[in-house]
């Protein structure tokens, strides 16, 4: 061995001892204390491994050591639970919190969400009770995450799985479910007790399919017990019993009920904060639930009924959250903390930074982050989607002259409408007779049910998925973009970039009512010819700003022009086949 090696090992040993005593020397300091020429000599042997790396690994404490797993997991279900607790460093400080803010990252479960815990527990409890056996069919009405969790368990254990999913749920969830072999049934976003709701449809399927079972996360005691036995115990262990506040979003209510009951037993002083979105009726006191906002974009939390498994008495205080704050907080968690969480995680954290303001230095607030951003790549992670839904301001620097003008300036008229009891055959006849391609379906009360198109109606009948005698509600699109007369044409243009139409609505309490339907042509026909600084007419400027949004050849065959008569507020009736003209 070279002399330098012996000396260097001696230096390491002595300085390592100094470090343990508070000396604080690091590897670069020691290595730089050796002459460069002698450092080079130490690595000249072709047969010897350079001694410096090995010596440091053996003699120096290094935080990134390899951790061996004790065994190979028998299947992926063993990777459910034992999720990490992570300190949230920047966001808490930005709100002036004195307490320690922690995130329980449930998206580290095998299926990507907190719902993996209850999915496994419900299936295994049903197996032990002899209720289900491999080969049976599992049906679950779900917001997506429970469906994914059940699909994961079903794939491993050999069950057929059917998920009944509301239309508002993200396509990412649908794609994951399909990849797991799930049969998916989509339902309108409606009241839980409506015949077409996902819950009612699921029970209808259960009565029709032999050997099928609904484990029913809304009433199954295995739901809160999964969190009582595992999630809460993990929190207590990770925090060494020192927990002063826990913030949990309420979907089925299983997480908040199970965790709260265990923590109340072990840490009676721990405050439980429940998170409920605006538009939901779960929070107490009931006065908190009064709102005109009914459109809830955050998925997985909130309901228009009280689930059986939810024990609201264990919640010390309820907070309401809104979509905008939730999504913006989720984006902050991703950008500032590196926590790739979903929208309801932002809901919980946006409430936590308010609720934890009264906690003192040395106290601890735990926030449950239910799922990951994987399920929402086309939603709140997408800037255009955020702008379209009014959650993010458009930062476009050079906006057209009409960008901030209100939609009401388009001077729109009410469209042709169809009642929900109209048959598919009659709807086809009306659309053809009037020359329309599509029309809104509106209840007598004025509530918008959706949009019916001529092509989709004909395709559905030809494919056998609908009959001529069926009501049009069987073939409607119940997902559509909404805009108010007070919104800007800029927001409208963002919607029409991806959608064929938007519905102009006004809201009253729990319902949306139709004013009119609006298409790209309405926006373009508003442009009044005038000279701008670039020497083009104002309409040409506007069209250049919408070159990627609105084709010069309209979808109904109307050629757009910049020589429209009249001033602002006048709509050119160039084609009688437009709904709303």
| 369, containing H or E segment | strand 364-369
Task: Give Dmax over CA atoms of the chain in angstroms.
Answer: 100
Q: Distance between CA atoms of 53 and 504, rounded to whole angstroms?
A: 68
Q: Distance between CA atoms of 574 and 526, rounded to whole angstroms?
A: 12
How many CA atoms lie less than 13 Å away from 557 in the CB half-sphere?
6
Picking from 456, 446, 447, 448, the residue whose alpha carbon sits closest to that of residue 424 is: 456
Q: Distance between CA atoms of 366 and 255, rounded to whole angstroms?
A: 13
Residues 6+ apart with CB under 8 A from 258: 223, 224, 225, 226, 227, 228, 229, 231, 232
Q: Distance between CA atoms of 366 and 103, rounded to whole angstroms?
A: 6
Q: Distance between CA atoms of 89 and 98, rounded to whole angstroms?
A: 11
- Reduced to 3 states (helix: H, G, I; strand: E, B; else coil), residue 213 is strand
Burial 204-228 (b: 16+ CB within 10 A, else e): ebbeeeeebbbbbbbebbbbbbbbb
Q: Please measure the distance between the N-terminal and C-terminal CA atoms of the chain and give it in whole angstroms.
A: 92
Give me the DSSP letters along 66-121. ----SS--SSGGGGSS---EEE--HHHHHTT--SEEEEEEGGGSTTSBTHHHHHHH
- Active-site residue 68, yes or no? no
How many CA atoms lie less than 13 Å away from 266 in the CB half-sphere?
21
Catalytic residue among 93, 98, 115, 388: 115
Q: Tokens at residue 563, please? A: 């020589």
| 328, containing H or E segment | helix 323-337
Picking from 143, 164, 167, the residue whose alpha carbon sits closest to that of residue 449 is: 167
Strand-pair category, 511-519 with 501-508: antiparallel
**Cis before residue 285, ω within 30 degrees of 0?**
yes
Q: Tokens at residue 561, please? A: 């022009």
How many CA atoms lie less than 13 Å away from 424 in the CB half-sphere?
21
Work out the number of other CB atoms within 10 angstroms of the CB of residue 94: 10
Burial 413-427 (b: 16+ CB within 10 A, else e): eebbbbebebebebb
Q: Counting every residue, how long is the chain?
A: 581
Catalytic sites, residue numbers: 115
């Amino acid at each position: 061995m070279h002399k330098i090696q012996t000396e260097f090992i001696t230096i390491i040993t002595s300085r390592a001892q100094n470090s343990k005593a508070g000396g604080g020397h690091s590897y670069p300091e020691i290595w730089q204390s050796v002459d460069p020429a002698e450092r080079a000599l130490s690595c000249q042997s072709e047969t010897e491994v350079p001694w410096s790396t090995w010596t440091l690994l053996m003699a120096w404490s290094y935080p990134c050591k390899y951790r061996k797993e004790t065994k190979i997991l028998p299947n992926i279900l063993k990777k459910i639970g034992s999720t990490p607790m992570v300190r949230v460093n920047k966001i808490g400080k930005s709100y002036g919190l004195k307490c320690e803010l922690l995130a329980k990252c449930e998206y580290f479960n095998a299926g990507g969400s907190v719902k993996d815990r209850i999915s496994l527990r419900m299936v295994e409890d049903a197996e032990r009770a002899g209720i289900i056996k491999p080969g049976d069919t599992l049906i679950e009405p779900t917001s997506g995450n429970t469906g994914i969790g059940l699909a994961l368990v079903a794939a491993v254990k050999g069950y057929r799985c059917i998920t009944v999913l509301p239309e508002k749920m993200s396509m990412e969830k649908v794609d994951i479910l399909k990849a797991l072999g799930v049969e998916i049934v989509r339902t309108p976003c409606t009241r839980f007790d409506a015949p077409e709701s996902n819950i009612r449809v699921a029970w209808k399927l259960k009565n029709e399919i032999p050997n099928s079972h609904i484990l029913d996360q809304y009433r199954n005691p295995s739901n809160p017990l999964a969190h009582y036995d595992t999630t809460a115990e993990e929190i207590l262990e990770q925090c060494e019993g020192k927990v002063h506040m826990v913030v949990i979003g309420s979907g089925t209510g299983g997480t908040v009920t199970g965790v709260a009951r265990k923590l109340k037993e072990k840490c009676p002083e721990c405050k439980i904060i429940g998170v409920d979105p605006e538009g939901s009726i779960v929070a107490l006191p009931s006065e908190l639930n009064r709102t005109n906002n009914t459109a809830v974009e955050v998925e997985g939390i909130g309901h228009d009924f009280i689930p059986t498994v939810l024990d609201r008495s264990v919640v010390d205080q309820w907070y309401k959250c809104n979509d905008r704050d939730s999504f913006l907080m989720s984006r902050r968690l991703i950008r500032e903390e590196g926590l790739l969480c979903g929208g309801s995680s932002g809901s919980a954290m946006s409430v936590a930074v308010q609720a934890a303001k009264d906690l003192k230095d040395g106290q601890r607030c735990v926030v449950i982050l239910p799922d990951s951003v994987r399920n929402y790549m086309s939603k709140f992670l997408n800037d255009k989607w955020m702008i379209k839904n009014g959650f993010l301001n458009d930062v476009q620097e050079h906006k057209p002259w009409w960008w901030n003008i209100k939609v009401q300036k388009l001077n729109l008229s009410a469209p042709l409408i169809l009642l929900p009891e109209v048959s598919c055959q009659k709807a086809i006849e009306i659309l053809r007779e009037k020359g329309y391609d599509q029309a809104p379906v509106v209840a007598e009360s004025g509530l918008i049910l959706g949009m019916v198109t001529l092509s989709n109606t004909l395709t559905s009948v030809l494919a056998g998925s609908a009959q001529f005698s069926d009501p049009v509600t069987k073939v409607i699109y119940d997902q559509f973009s909404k805009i108010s007369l007070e919104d800007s044409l800029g927001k409208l243009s963002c919607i029409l970039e991806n959608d064929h139409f938007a519905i102009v609505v006004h809201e009253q309490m729990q319902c949306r009512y139709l004013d009119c339907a609006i298409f790209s042509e309405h926006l373009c026909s508003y442009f009044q010819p005038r000279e701008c600084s670039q020497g083009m007419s104002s309409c040409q400027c506007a069209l250049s700003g919408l070159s990627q949004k609105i084709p010069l050849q309209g979808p109904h065959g109307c050629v757009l022009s910049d020589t429209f008569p009249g001033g602002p507020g006048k709509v050119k009736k160039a084609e009688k086949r437009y709904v709303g003209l």
